[in-house]
Every structure is written in C-alpha cells, then in structure tokens.
Structure 1
Amino acid sequence: MPIPSLSEKDLEAYQNDLSNPEKSTEVLFITLTGLYQRFAGNEQLLASFEYTSELQSLENSYAAKKEHYNKEIAELKRQFKQLDNRIVAAEQKLRHGIPDDLMVMDKIIAEQESIVEDQEKLNNAESAIVEQVRKIDIAYGKDLQKLEQQQNNRNTPLNNKFSAFNDQIKLAEKRIRLKANAISIIVIIGIPLIVDMILISLGLPALSKNTNKLIFTHYIFLIALILIELLLAEKVKSRISYMLSISYLKDSLGTLQNLFRENKKQIAKVESEHNISISEFVK
C-alpha cells in the first residue's frame, strides 16, 4: 500500500505534538521520520507531474507540427492531381497529331513548359516538406530521450536526498539519546548524593558505629537513589530527552515546512506553464 502524501494538516498536527511535553521523544522522532517519508511521496508526485506535463506538451507540439505538414502534404497531393489532369489534357490535344495552327501549337508548347515548371516546383516543395518532417521527427526523438534522461536524473538524487534525511534523523536521535542518558544518570545520582551530603552535614547519625563501612554511613544516599530510580527515573529521563530533542525537532520541522512550501510552488509553476491541474493528473 503506497504511503500517503504529506499535507498541511500533518505538519500542523506535528507542530501541536511538539508543544506537548508529555509526548515521548521516541514517538516524536518516529513521527518526524514518517513525515519525511510521506513528503518523499510529494516530491515523487512533483517529479512525475513535471515529466507527464512536459511529455504532454512535447507530444502536443509534435502533433501540431505534424498536422501542419500533413495539411501541406494534402495540399500538394491536390496540386499534383491537378497537374496530372493538365498533363492528360495536353496529351489529348496531341492525340490526333500536331495541329496545323501555329497559335494552337504555341499554346500547347507553353502549357507543356508550364506543366514541367510547375511539376518541378511541386517536387521541390514535396522534398522540402519531407525534409522538414524528417527534422521534426528527429528533434522529437531527441526531446523524448532528453526528457527520459531528465526523469532518471530526478529520481536518483531524490532517493539519495531522502535517504540522507533519514540517516540524519537517526544519527541525531542516537546522539541525543546518549546525551540524555548521561545527563539522566548524573541527575539521578546527583540528587540522592546532595540529599545525603545535606543530611550528613546536619548530623544525621549513621546506621552503624563502624563508620568505616560506606554503606552504613551513606544509607540515605542509597535509599534516595532507590526511591528516585523507582518513582522518578523514567520521568527524569523523558523530561531531559524532551528538552534536548525539542530544538532539533523544531528545526527539522521548519526545514520540512520550507520543503513542503517549495514543493507546492513548483506544482503551481508546472500547472501554469503547461495549463494542467495536479488534480487532473492524480485522478
């Protein structure tokens, strides 16, 4: 099943998700990756729309030129037929021999010369049209080849582009996760340590008179550490991860929004240049 294209509503929904601190950063990164994957569909649609529109314009232009020359060829055929009729008429005048009347003979000779001259003109015109048709056929073939090459040149960078986006998101998520884990460990250990130091400074007695044993001297630290690990550790990790991730996620969303707007501009440009609507294309 094809991935649906990205829409304005998708971007707005993700914008709202970023404003919610309770949202899991893991989910936010997964959603961001999904948005870029969906936008790849928009770019592919644009590439296909550009190709199809250019192909249609090319075919229409070629068909118009062919129609023009077909009309000229039809006109030439009509003139050749008229010329054939003149040749037949001239031959009929000589069927009963050479006329004695010099004026009649001069007219026949003049007509024959005119026929030869007109025939040469028609032959030249026919050759010129054939040459023009040959040229537009060659040009059309080259244009088709160029268009196909352009389409191939679009697809390869397009795939590489979104593969790079995915790699960047994965790398950023990995770095932020490692950093968040490190800070979380410091916080989770630091809070009990501070509490322990404060209580010891206030004179809280140790569990054992043998203060050389660290576990009895710093039992408050251990109790606080266990409580934080059980009750607050996940919230601390989640909050720190959100704080570290939000800037990157917002920047990535901004980049995606700019790409989305540029995509829409390009679609509007193609629609204007080729006088075709994207809605007609996707039917």
Structure 2
Amino acid sequence: MFSDAVVSYRKLGMSGPAIRQLLAIRDQLRKATADMRQVNRKFPAMVEAHLGAAYLRTREFSKAHDAFASAIAGTNDRATMLEFLFTEYKSQRAEKHLVALLQEAADDGPGQGIVHAYMAEALSERLGNQIAAAAAYRRAIVLDPTRSEYYNGLGLALYRQMDLSAALTEFTRATEIDPGDAAARYNEACALALLGRKDEALYSLREAIQLEPRLSEQARVDKDFKSMNSLTGFQELIAAEVNDNMDRATASTVKTSDDED
C-alpha cells in the first residue's frame, strides 16, 4: 500500500519531503505493529482485557465477555484483573453483564472471595437484588473472613432489606475486624439510630467522624438521624466545618440518600 502511494506521489511530481513523510509514517506503523505483537506475546491477558474494555464502550457485550474471560483465565494477577474489569463494567453501567461474567469466573479457592464480593456489590448497588447480594457477600466471607468491607457490604444489603438488627450485627463485625473502618462505623450508627438506640448511635457516629471528619456532612443530611436532630450532642458533633465534597472512596461503602427512599 505504501509502495503504491510512493509511486503515485512520484508520478504526480510530488516533492521529496512529502514522500519522506509518507515513508516515516510507514516506519512508525511497522514499529507499532511489531511492538504490539511483542506485547501480545508477553502480556496476552492485558491485551485481552483492553480489547474487552473497547468492546464494552461499543456495547458489544458478547465480545467483551469473551475477551475478559480470556483475560481472567490467562492472568497471573487475578486481583488486579478483576479490579480492572469491575471498574470498566461499572463505568459503562453494565453491571448485569458483569455479574454474568463473574458467575463464570467464580472460584471457591483460597483468597477468591473478591470475585463474590464484586458480584455482590454490583447486585446490591446497581441491580437492586439484595437477597442475591447478601448470598454473594456470605460466600465472600466464607472464603476470606478477614475483610471488613465484606461484612460492611453484607450489612448494606441487609439494611436495604430493612433487616436492621441483622445489618447492625454485620456492621459491628466489620468494626471489630478493622476498628479503622469509618464506613462500617458510620453505617453502624445509622442502624442504631433507626433502632431507637440514640446514645449508642451518637457514640458510633462520633467514632466514625473522628476516623473520617468529612462524614459529618453526610450525617447532617442523613434521614436516618432525623430522630436525633434535637439532641445537643448530635448538633455539636456535626457543627464543625467540613469539605463539601465527600471522599468518593469512602462514600461508595456508606449508605446514601438513595437508600432512604
């Protein structure tokens, strides 16, 4: 193709610089092709993953599924691969297709709770299937019982079913595993408030805000604390000036106003 173009340029009397530019483009493309072949040989799973991401953006879900399945099967870093595909599916609001893929990828081996946890988050946060989400979180916990975020996620799925006592149990377990888990402590405070245990709720909320001060802004507008608005301790707790923009990484594991409708 490039040879034909060069011949045509010469027939048309095109200058040397134009031909040199065309040949330079040819050389760059050849190098890029060679580099891509080398990458494909060394990192086939990465190539498949990015191919899957490209298919997602064009809504070719079947092709994306196949590419990501190959990437998962071929990777030596399963956790990183799962995080990548979870982020990609979530960004495209394609959680239904993500769940189908993860169901195939599910492995009950040691350390594989993350697969079930990602599935559970998609089911709970976007698809609204709280029963299935709770079941997936429980599988994740069985496989990896040391992850506080799994208990917190299970608590959220139970909270969204208004099973507040059961949700409280899971939030508390999360804080026992990781006392520094601000999201779990905050969610514990919400459950306690809804159960009418105001003093305990205030204590847990204070602990959460000490861990993450920006949660005071969330608490200020949170309907779960409506019954506590008249408490002096509550007003004092949320009175401190905070940044209006909450940390998204924290907020994603804290119940939101959508959970209260």
TM-based fold match above 0.5: no
User: What TM-score do the two structures reach when normalised by structure 1?
Assistant: 0.18
Q: Which has the larger radius of gyration?
A: 1
User: What TM-score do the two structures reach when normalised by structure 2?
Assistant: 0.19
